[in-house]
Amino acid sequence: MNKYLDIAPEVQEALASGRPVVALESTIISHGMPYPQNVETALRVEQTIRDGGAVPATIAIISGRLKAGLSHEEIEHLGRKGREVAKASRRDLPVLVARGADGATTVTTTMIIAAMAGIKVFATGGIGGVHRGAETTMDISADLEELAHTPVMVICAGAKSILDLGLTLEYLETKGVPVIGYGTDELPAFYTRRSGFKVDYRIDTPEELAAAFRAELEMGLGGGMLVTNPIPEEYSMDPDRIDAAIEQALKEASEQGIHGKDTTPFLLARIKDITGGDSLASNIQLVLNNARLAAATARCLTA
């Protein structure tokens, strides 16, 4: 086992006995929502995983240790510190570990630590991707590179609709990452169920998701698999309303010189404010929906 990695006893026992485990990120705790909703949501998502017959493993860096599975106290710690906690991507891990610092894991670093621990399924909200205007800024999320070579299934509600979804799909195709629509032929756009872009394959059951990922692992292809699970219909936001909020938030980010890793937290916070909190409510529901599918898929993968 990696000497920098701590696996929580419950998670270690589940992995050793072949029981299903689902990884969860921690950026949603520190950067995705205000306190105390962030802690409440994190614990609710963990309980959803348990109710689905799997063991949750929320992932973070605590005092320089890579953690696969957090205690309630550690989740509370991240929630209270909020954006004081570093948002940790792949490039940040060596320095945070060497300094004994805390870090909230993105999709990228959650995949890295999950793979170290032997966890194959990961539930999140939405992945990063190619940002709008990337042809001049070169702002492309490290999530896409991680999906290309780290063997973890990522279950999400699509790419965040603040991104250029068409270019994000093109990038994933170039990197050989299969993009699966769960019960849909169309890429979900996080807050909304439709984007106008087609996924590679539609799959309608957790059993088939597990079978496809098992085949990928057994062939030794080396990369991950992206499963896009649409937000439940009753929580889906009006596309015109959310697009208008995104455009306003993007304009403000440009005017204020927001860039790099600060971009997504800024945009999500502004979209929440512009929509009167409706986007946050949708965000919580889509994460819970993804957790349910991840637990079911992890059960099938270990059956």
What is the distance between the alpha carbons of residues 66 and 49, in angstroms, rounded to a whole number?
A: 21
> Angle formed by the axes of helices 107-117 and 142-149, to 10°?
30
Contact status, residue 93 vs residue 106, Cβ threshold 8 Å: no
* CA dihedral over 235, 236, 238, 241, signed as positive or negative: positive
Q: For residue 60, which of 84, 93, 25, 89 has the smallest C-alpha distance?
A: 25
Contact 172, 147 (CB under 8 A): yes
Catalytic one of 67, 120, 160, 261: 160
Q: Does residue 25 carry a catalytic annotation?
A: yes
Contact 124/90 with Cβ under 8 angstroms? no
Tell me the torsion sign for CA atoms 273, 253, 284, 190. Answer: positive
170 catalytic residue (yes or no): no
Which among 25, 46, 76, 146 is annotated as catalytic? 25
Query: Among candidates 286, 161, 176, which has minimal Cα distance to 232?
Result: 286
What single-letter amino acid sits at 187? L
CA 253 to CA 245: how far, in whole Å? 12
In this structure, the number of other CB atoms found within 10 A of the CB of residue 135 comes to 10
Query: Which residues carry out catalysis?
Result: 25, 160
